[in-house]
């Protein structure tokens, strides 16, 4: 494609900024006896993979190595990445997972078919809060049609998904062209000029599209329209993430002297508590947004919940027990000999906790009586759990699968009719070991941190939306709603606490409400 020559000419004319260019070939693993044995060809494994492995290789290994010899900018607006065919998937996914590193993407004849899961990417584009990317993509109408899928159709799906979510992008579909970059090579200078237009101005997204309100109907409440999640206030957007957060809000870091934030929970005043795993303290974030020490020597608290009695409940790993604290920090033991991971509390004071050691869910009723309410064996590793807003159902993560379970809560507190009801997006990882906490809003939506971001599942079991994480390159572990109106979503990532204002209101143990019926 004569990329070095084209770049040299455009840079010499002042039409592109001066840049360093890194060309990456796929790796092959040589056999022990090459004369009689075949190498392992890693191109598909490295490039077609939709997990963040290739982005980690680039960002954590290759680029730092080059930076030892070349002075590289740290500004993502200065960075572009591109590829062809299978390499197109590798380039796009690297920018998708690390938009804090790459803001410009160009790819040609992209293999967004089911080689290693890239056929899912158009749907991720639709469901995920837009990321700061400018993208050029190209294909031909006579490109490959094979067992893995149809290249032109899949790239048209990519284009449609980018249109849907408002990306700054351009799609060139050449009539009659096969799996070739011939025509793209001829117009490469124009492609690069378009990709770098307006430089050094930062990359920005297009204004989000609003769903028109049908005559005679209001724009709020209800069960949603056209498959969109309910937006409690304001316009309804096509991009589902903007019905949860506004386009102009960002994550705010909660600074403080803590070292490793972990479990989070809110009380009735909206104060947010979190555990510091390294210092063995509990912190409280008040309305001023500043953390202050609430409890020293917290006993290795690893799960927190605000109770209907105004007390803060926790599972203590050190003493293998459940305790609660009053506003003055006075501690009360609720239960001993507990191998718990997470807990949920009803308005009546019933406490459910997961026990991954014994693969059970246990109930401690308001009288202190304990009994196992799930030991069915279907859940391999029960971890995070949460009640629906009306306390009618209990949802339980299985850390070894991508399908959280839903149980109906019987009148006596027993669990019944359990099923792997939800389906998460996990980037081919197929497990939820990163999601250590579940947040719930009053509409019945569940929020979990995964490698994809913060995923929201509706009460019908669908995964409807993904919020971008506070930072890219790691995973959100804990989430909770807090603040005086319970409309701030708090998240822990890499031991740091963040918050972001939403259009939702968090559900609470002391205030059960019947959520609206989910949309179809």
- Identify the CA nearest to 442 among candidates 491, 384, 502: 502
- Domain(s) of CATH 2.120.10.30: residues in the chain: 240-501
pLDDT in tens, 63-110: 999 999 999 999 999 999 999 999 999 999 999 999 999 999 999 999
Q: Is 92 exposed, middle or buried (0-12, 13-18, 19+ CB in 10 A)?
A: buried
Q: Which residues in the chain come in under a pLDDT of 70?
A: 213-233, 429-430, 520
**CA 365, 370, 371, 377 torsion-angle sign:** positive
Could you please state the CATH topology (level 3) that the domain comprising 240-501 is classified under. Neuraminidase (2.120.10)
CATH code of the region 3-195: 3.40.50.1820
Residue 226 pLDDT: 44
Residue 520 pLDDT: 67
- Domain(s) of CATH 3.40.50.1820: residues in the chain: 3-195
Could you tell me the CA-to-CA distances from 127 to 210, 243, 448, 466 in Å, in that order?
A: 15, 12, 15, 6
Contact by Cβ (8 Å): 471, 499 = no
Residue 253 pLDDT: 97
pLDDT in tens, 361-396: 999 999 999 999 999 889 999 999 999 999 999 999
Contact by Cβ (8 Å): 129, 106 = no
Q: Which two tokens stand for residue 367?
A: 């009288």
Does 200 sit behind a cis peptide bond, omega within 30 degrees of 0 on the bond before it? yes
Beta bridge partners of 478: 492
Residue 223 pLDDT: 45
How many Cβ atoms are within 10 Å of 368's Cβ, its own excluded? 10
Scanning the structure block, which residue is given the tokens 């509390």? 345
Q: What is the 3-state secondary structure (H, E, C) of 383-418?
A: EEEEECCCCCEEEEEECCCCCCEEEEECCCCCEEEE
């Amino acid at each position: 494609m004569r990329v070095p020559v084209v770049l040299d000419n455009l840079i010499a004319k002042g039409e592109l900024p001066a840049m360093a260019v890194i060309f990456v070939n796929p790796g092959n693993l040589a056999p022990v006896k090459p004369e009689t044995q075949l190498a392992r060809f890693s191109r598909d494994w490295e490039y077609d993979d939709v997990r963040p492995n290739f982005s980690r290789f680039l960002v954590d290994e290759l680029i730092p190595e080059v930076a030892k010899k070349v002075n590289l900018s740290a500004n993502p607006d200065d960075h572009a990445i591109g590829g062809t065919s299978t390499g197109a998937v590798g380039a796009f996914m690297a920018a998708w997972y690390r938009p804090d590193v790459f803001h410009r993407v160009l790819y040609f004849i992209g293999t967004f078919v089911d080689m290693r899961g890239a056929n899912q990417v158009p749907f991720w584009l639709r469901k995920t809060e837009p990321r700061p990317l400018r993208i050029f993509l190209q294909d031909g109408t006579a490109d490959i049609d094979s067992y893995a899928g149809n290249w032109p159709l899949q790239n048209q799906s990519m284009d449609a998904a980018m249109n849907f979510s408002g990306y700054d992008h351009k799609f060139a579909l050449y009539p009659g062209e096969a799996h070739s970059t011939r025509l793209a090579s001829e117009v490469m200078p124009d492609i690069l000029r378009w990709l770098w237009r307006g430089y050094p101005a930062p990359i920005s997204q297009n204004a989000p599209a609003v769903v028109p309100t049908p005559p005679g109907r209001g724009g709020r409440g209800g069960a949603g329209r056209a498959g969109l999640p309910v937006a409690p206030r304001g316009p309804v957007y096509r991009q589902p993430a903007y019905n949860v957060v506004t386009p102009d809000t960002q994550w705010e870091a909660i600074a403080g002297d803590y070292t490793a934030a972990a479990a989070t929970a809110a009380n009735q005043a909206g104060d947010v508590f979190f555990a510091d795993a390294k210092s063995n303290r509990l912190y409280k974030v008040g309305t001023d947004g500043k953390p202050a020490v609430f409890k020293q020597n917290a006993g290795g608290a690893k799960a927190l919940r605000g109770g209907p009695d105004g007390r803060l409940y926790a599972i203590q790993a050190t003493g293998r027990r459940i305790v609660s604290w009053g506003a003055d920090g006075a501690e009360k033991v609720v239960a001993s000999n507990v191998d718990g991971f997470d807990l949920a509390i009803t308005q009546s004071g019933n406490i459910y906790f997961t026990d991954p050691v014994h693969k059970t869910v246990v109930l401690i009723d308001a009288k202190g009586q304990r009994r196992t309410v799930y030991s069915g064996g279907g859940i391999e590793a029960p971890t995070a759990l949460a009640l629906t807003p009306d306390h009618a159902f209990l949802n339980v993560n299985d850390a070894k699968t991508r399908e959280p379970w839903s149980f109906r809560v019987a009148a006596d507190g027993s669990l019944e009719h359990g099923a792997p009801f939800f389906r998460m997006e996990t980037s081919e990882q197929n497990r939820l070991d990163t999601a250590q906490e579940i947040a719930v809003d009053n509409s019945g939506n569940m929020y979990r941190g995964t490698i994809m971001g913060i995923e929201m599942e509706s009460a019908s079991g669908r995964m409807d939306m993904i919020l971008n994480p506070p930072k890219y390159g790691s995973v959100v572990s804990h989430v909770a709603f807090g603040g005086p109106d319970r409309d701030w979503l708090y998240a822990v990532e890499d031991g740091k606490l963040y918050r972001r204002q939403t259009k939702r209101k968090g559900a609470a143990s002391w205030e059960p409400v019947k959520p609206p019926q989910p949309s179809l």
